[in-house]
Amino acid sequence: MRNKTKAVYKYNITTSARPLGIYYFIVLMIIISFAIIALISSGNTHVSGIEFATVIFLLVLALADFRENFEALNQYGLSRKSIYVGKVLAFGSLALAAAFIDRLLVIAVEKITSPMENFLFGSFFTTMYETSFAKLNFWSENLLALLLSFSAYLALLSSGTFISAVFYRSNRIGKIAIAAGIPIFIFVAVPVIGAYIYTSKLAKVFTKLLEISLSTPARASVSFLLGAIIFGVITYPIVMRTTLKGK
């Protein structure tokens, strides 16, 4: 790793470490709170979805990260290529670290709370692909879950960086269009398109695509990794052409 890229890598890791630590502290407090509730009550408590929460956190982190880091690193005279490569390496490390932490949390909490009959803690991905994971032994299950988490996290970091880079380069109208367009697309356009597809001949094509890309943990991992690569490739020329605001 060249010195400039190494400096960018360290800077990104340093700036991401604190929010990551705060996030996992909150997650731990939530888990402990639900465990206490289960201890003092007779009702059943089911906690799962830690990976889904991490996906949301990493996406928000990537969306909020680009401008500050890009401007700060440019002030040190670092090239855009070094900034891009350093960020890719840092986000790869961050995705891997988050995947390991989530997996260790799932294993540890399940082990610690196993005597509690009314407290059930589970993994989002292993619940989503319960049939596939049920066939695996302990090590195979955790390795596959780790790969699935890593690929999903990397895809979200990559897509978040792409969106934030485009947002940074856009003018005022473009920023308004992006800020308003994404929520409208997710909450209005997607349901309408989904309803249309469901009632049309495209339903079979759409279902087949989902089956090919997400039907198993292995296929989902490959799909997420391909998504991360695609977003990474199209983000590169955007970063290379980005100029500091006001210059």
- Upper half-sphere CA count for residue 10 (Cβ side, 13 Å): 7
- Other C-beta atoms lying within 10 Å of the C-beta of residue 143: 12
Alpha carbon distance 92, 169 (integer Å) = 24
Alpha carbon distance 151, 216 (integer Å) = 14
4-16 pLDDT tens trace: 888 899 999 999 9
Say which residue, 150 or 4, is predicted with more confidence.
150
pLDDT score, position 178: 66
pLDDT score, position 135: 85
Q: Kindly report the CA angle at 222 between 217 and 144, in degrees rounded to 5?
A: 40
pLDDT score, position 205: 63
Q: Using the Cα atoms of residue 163, residue 197, residue 53 and residue 155 in order, give the sign of their dihedral.
A: negative
- The percent of residues in the chain predicted with pLDDT above 70, rounded, is 82
What's the pLDDT band for 1 if we cut at 50, 70, 90? low
80-98 pLDDT tens trace: 899 999 999 999 999 999 9
49 φ/ψ angles, rounded to the nearest 5 degrees? 95, 20
Alpha carbon distance 89, 230 (integer Å) = 16
Mean pLDDT (the chain) is: 84
pLDDT score, position 176: 67
Looking at residue 120, the DSSP 8-state letter turns out to be E
| pTM of the entire predicted model | 0.86
Q: Where are the domains of the chain?
A: 3-169+201-241
Alpha carbon distance 78, 98 (integer Å) = 28
